[in-house]
Chain A
Amino acid sequence: MYGYAGKLLDINLSTLTVNALPLDEELIKNYVGGVGFSTKIIYDQVPVGIDPFDPENILCFGVGSLVGTNVPTACRTEVSAKSPATGLFGTSNSGSFWGSELKFAGYDGIIIRGRASSAVYISINNEKVEIVPASHVWGKDAWETIKLIRNELKDDEIQIAAIGQAGENLCRFASIENGPYDAWGRTGLGAVMGSKKLKAIAVRGNKSIKVFNKKSFLNFTNQARAAIYESPFYGPFSKFGTMLATVPYYEFGALPGRNFQTGVIDNWMETRSRKLVSKYSNRGISCISCPIACAHWVEVKEGPYKGLRIKDMEVTPLIGFAAGCDINNIPAVSKLTEVCQRYGIDMVSAAGTIAFSMELFQRKIITEKDIGFQLEWGNEEAVFKLLDLIIKRDGIGDILAEGTKRAAEKIPGAENYAMHIKGLEIPMADPRGRWSTWTFGNITNIRGGDHLRNRNPVENLRFNDNPIEYKCEKFGFPDEIYEKLDMFEKVKEEVFQQETRDVNISRMSKWAEDLISVYNTLGICIRPPVLQAVGPTLLSNLYSTLTGIDITGEDLMKVGERIWNLQKLFNLREGEKSEDSVFPKRFYNEILPDGPSKGKKLDAVKVKEVLGDYYQVRGWDRQTGVPTKEKLDELGLK
């Protein structure tokens, strides 16, 4: 088989059985790769309405179909299950080297069912797959676990996915660590892994990935690499990584300052922005086959965190802790990142939950008596202590480990300060300060409050609407960038309005969500230099020449749309309603009090109109957001 490894591992931890299933042709045709396969399996096989911690929940690891090749940024694997954070479709994407190793071991994915009677880990070495007792690593953090398993298996480069104590303790936003410094962070899949008593999956492989048409495939690979290098985002992203965003979101006044009470933070540029990247790091770190190297190797050489060495400088923990909790110290954020990585907890939800708690303390809804210590904004020591309580589910940490939505249901008066959508804490940006395809995407996202499934590939980071133009955002680049954009001409005409230089947000959202679903199923990275440079036509050429399976760009986008619709159907089946697709009340009721976006708030009627437009563009009922029969027939879904 070309391109694919050709098998899915199906492991039942209750019965301790392992099967290697050949990839089904229909599955390949309709779903193409990792998260597509996982979506279909979970939709068909997870019983409706089960508790996410029920042994019948299925945890799927799906490797992208281009992973293991030299396609630039083909490194991504997606993990999916019913989410303990949202009760909806849980799914999370990560790069590094684990997924490619799994393909080299001969598998395109792993299906994990059941629950072990005591702690285990899975050891995969090509055909040799073993379920191994793990009581000696249960209770250890992810870094210790990785070291111990590598020692045990006498292989210091074996790739390991592991949970930390947060996952063992069923913290609803626990992550699965992907090696020491990467993670499948969002939607609490580490807790699903913990509920199955599965501590880790260690993978070693030395098989090969075959190529159908080497000459053409390498031509398209070179074309993709050249397009990424030519993107205006490439240089800044290689230099600053995701920290690039620390400046525009400050300039828009759209930081989630002190749990979204302000869009600006004093001295932000001097203390917490991308200006400081070179102070703590002088080199990038890549995932396999990535020319960007957006992550940075950080070494702290002075101060209380002296000696800290870590792969870091990611914008989400930085903005979450430094703006959300007002921690005025980049090394402290790096240390918090380390704690999240070791103990296996999603940095976005952890920072969001702590910021929520700090606001409750500010408003005296919870006090030192409830927490055990003072929890003022910017109090580093208190943030470390509270994070520890959440990981251990100790004291108030037991309530907070449930996430802000459930915690607010238990703490009287807390509801208005729980900044989540569908149970998932919102990262990064305040939509009052920055209204765009990207921020709008938080309410259409199948996984809840999250910014990574919808993004305008030609987003304008130099201009901000004032007042908010709900249906549109402005063009971001010169005309030649739009002309070169790998987007179907008919879609371009619908999305971009040349006369007004407007980008239609509802139409762009459908395009971007379908395209990102394609990216995730093929296993390439959605970083802006790639998202702008590589579209469905080039991807279909890469896929067809790698696998020998003819597919057009249109076919591929239909696959993306099918995956998105099936995940939506899963959510509807689990009880999601259109009224859940809203921002927290604060964004509609309170104006931003200061900064460049001072005075702005969202108009609920206008947001709902854009949402209705989006539903209509998707072929869903304009009011309810339920896919129409015609749309489901078109996609071959029932």
Chain B
Amino acid sequence: MARRMVMAPKKCTGCTSCSLTCAITYNNEFDLKKSHVQVKKNDLDGTFNIIFSSTCLSCGKCAEVCPSGCLSIIDSGNGGK
């Protein structure tokens, strides 16, 4: 069954685990600028924006480690829910 990633931006806690995981998965080192997903922080306001680059392969590794439920994988068979 096909799977796709969904995002609930308000759930992001800013932990950046997605970006760190992407970096080590695809570049073999922790180099956040090369990560396909970036967490833009507005720390004074306690808000975060997750930005995927066009190079993202949608592998879902970032969602696997997201602790907050901001990024998750759902089955998208039959059009998903």
- Which residues of A are in contact with B by a Cβ distance under 8 Å? 68-70, 72, 97, 104, 143, 146-147, 156-157, 179-181, 206-211, 214, 218, 225, 283-293, 297, 309, 311
Contacts and interface: CB of A to CB of B under 8 A. Distances in A.
B41 A97 contact: yes
Contacts of B68: 284, 286, 293
A211 B30 contact: yes
B14 A285 contact: yes
Contact of A286 (B13, B33, B42): B13
B44 interface: yes
24 contacts: A68-B30, A70-B17, A70-B20, A143-B44, A156-B42, A157-B40, A157-B41, A208-B27, A209-B29, A209-B31, A211-B24, A211-B29, A211-B30, A214-B28, A283-B11, A286-B15, A286-B16, A286-B67, A286-B68, A287-B15, A289-B15, A291-B67, A293-B67, A309-B46
Contact of B15 (A146, A180, A288): A288
A70 B46 contact: no
B30 A209 contact: yes
Contacts of A180: 43-44
Contacts of B45: 309
B26 to A, nearest CB: 11
A289 B44 CA distance: 19
B73 interface: no
Contacts of A289: 15-17, 20
Given A70-B17, A290-B67, 9 more contacts: A70-B20, A104-B32, A180-B44, A208-B31, A211-B29, A225-B65, A283-B13, A284-B68, A309-B45
A28 to B, nearest CB: 19
Contacts of B27: 208
Interface of B: 10-11, 13-17, 20-21, 23-24, 27-34, 40-46, 65, 67-68
Contact of B65 (A70, A147, A214): A70
Interface of B is mostly: mixed
The 3 closest A-B pairs by CB, nearest first: A208-B31, A291-B67, A286-B15
Contacts of A156: 42
Contact of B21 (A70, A97, A147, A211): A70
Contacts of B43: 97, 179-181
A183 B16 CA distance: 20
A70 B33 contact: no
Nearest to A96: B43
A218 B43 CA distance: 29
A95 to B, nearest CB: 11
Nearest to A211: B29
B77 to A, nearest CB: 27
B13 A210 contact: no
B40 A311 contact: no
Contact of B46 (A72, A209, A292, A311): A311
A269 B54 CA distance: 50
